[in-house]
Amino acid sequence: MGELTFFLGLKVKKMKDGTFISQTKYTGDLMKKFGSLLYLTASRPDITIVVGVCARFQSATKESHMTAAKRILRYLKGCQEVGLWYPKEGGFKLVGYSDSDYAGCRVDRKSTFGTCQMLRNRLVSWFSKKQNSIATSTVEAKYISADSCYAQVLWMRQQLRDYDIEEKKEIPIMCDNTSAIAITQNPVLHSRTKHIDVRYHFTRDHVEKKDITLEYISTNKQLADIFTKPLCESRFEELKHELGLIKLS
């Protein structure tokens, strides 16, 4: 069949030092006629949070939502050729990043959480989602977010095993909340989490089994920050670069 260059709207360009994946043609077609912004998030993590928020109001769209959608389109028009860069060099160390915006939704006060998973410096998986229930504290919101991150990490570790790539050490999940980390490590604090649904203690069990480790990272180095809330331009551009979103010259 030959070398892969185009598949389901994704343009794949292979070079000596890496691979570049983009949806340039799809973005261009989106400007000319109606299309799905949600599908564009397959290669554009920079619009994941804003597209997700707009999608919540599809059944009851107002003028303000249409204005927001047009603003997304104007942004995309100015950077149609941006895509994900996957450098050839580097190992396959799996790292997860987990973050949440406590009570960020102004309608129902539910928190939005976002996670991303990296193989060394390559972004391979990400998502942003509003939590199903209202968190009573920042700690609870962060703790639930870490649980969702590890579920994805666990699946990815199994996929790596299929390629004979074994993670022998604990897989780190980076979190910027020390209290959420303490809950997974200190049994004394478990009594304070009785109100949290049992299914969210999935992470704590695997920390005890030494499958993963929840590690602290400062907020200014938290890559998942881009999936949880609006950011200032400088911070937004910084995270885009860290995630490997570039314009191929």
pLDDT band at 194 (very low <50, low <70, confident <90, very high): low
d(CA 223, CA 219): 9
With 0-12 CB in 10 A as exposed, 13-18 as middle and 19+ as buried, what is 45?
buried
pLDDT of residue 209: 79
pLDDT of residue 118: 92
Q: What is the mean pLDDT of residues 178-199?
A: 66
Residue type at position 242: E
Residue carrying structure tokens 């397959």: 42
What pLDDT digit, counting tens, does each position of 59-114 carry? 888 898 889 989 999 999 888 899 999 998 877 889 999 998 887 777 778 888 89
How confident is the prediction for the chain on average, in pLDDT?
85
pLDDT band at 188 (very low <50, low <70, confident <90, very high): low
What pLDDT digit, counting tens, does each position of 32-47 carry? 887 888 899 989 999 9
- Secondary structure element (H or E) that encloses residue 85, with its range: strand 82-87
Cα 188 to Cα 33, 135, 140, 146, distances in angstroms = 58, 21, 16, 20
Residue 197: pLDDT over 60: no
Residue 49: pLDDT over 60: yes
Q: 3-state SS of the chain: helix, strand, coil percent to 5? A: 45, 25, 30
Q: What is the mean pLDDT of residues 177-199?
A: 67
| DSSP annotation of 170 | P
pLDDT of residue 244: 92
DSSP letters of 115-140? EEEEETTEEEEEEEEE-SS--SSHHH
pLDDT of residue 199: 58
Domains of the chain and any CATH numbers: 6-85 (no CATH), 90-230 (3.30.420.10)
pLDDT of residue 223: 93
Q: Per the structure block, which two tokens stand in for 70? A: 């047009």
Give the start-end residues of each E strand in the chain.
Answer: 6-7, 10-15, 18-22, 82-87, 94-101, 112-119, 122-130, 171-175, 212-216, 245-247
Q: What is the mean pLDDT of residues 187-206?
A: 60
What pLDDT digit, counting tens, does each position of 143-180 carry? 778 888 888 998 898 888 888 888 777 889 999 988 88
Q: Per the structure block, which two tokens stand in for 197? A: 């649904």
d(CA 26, CA 81): 10
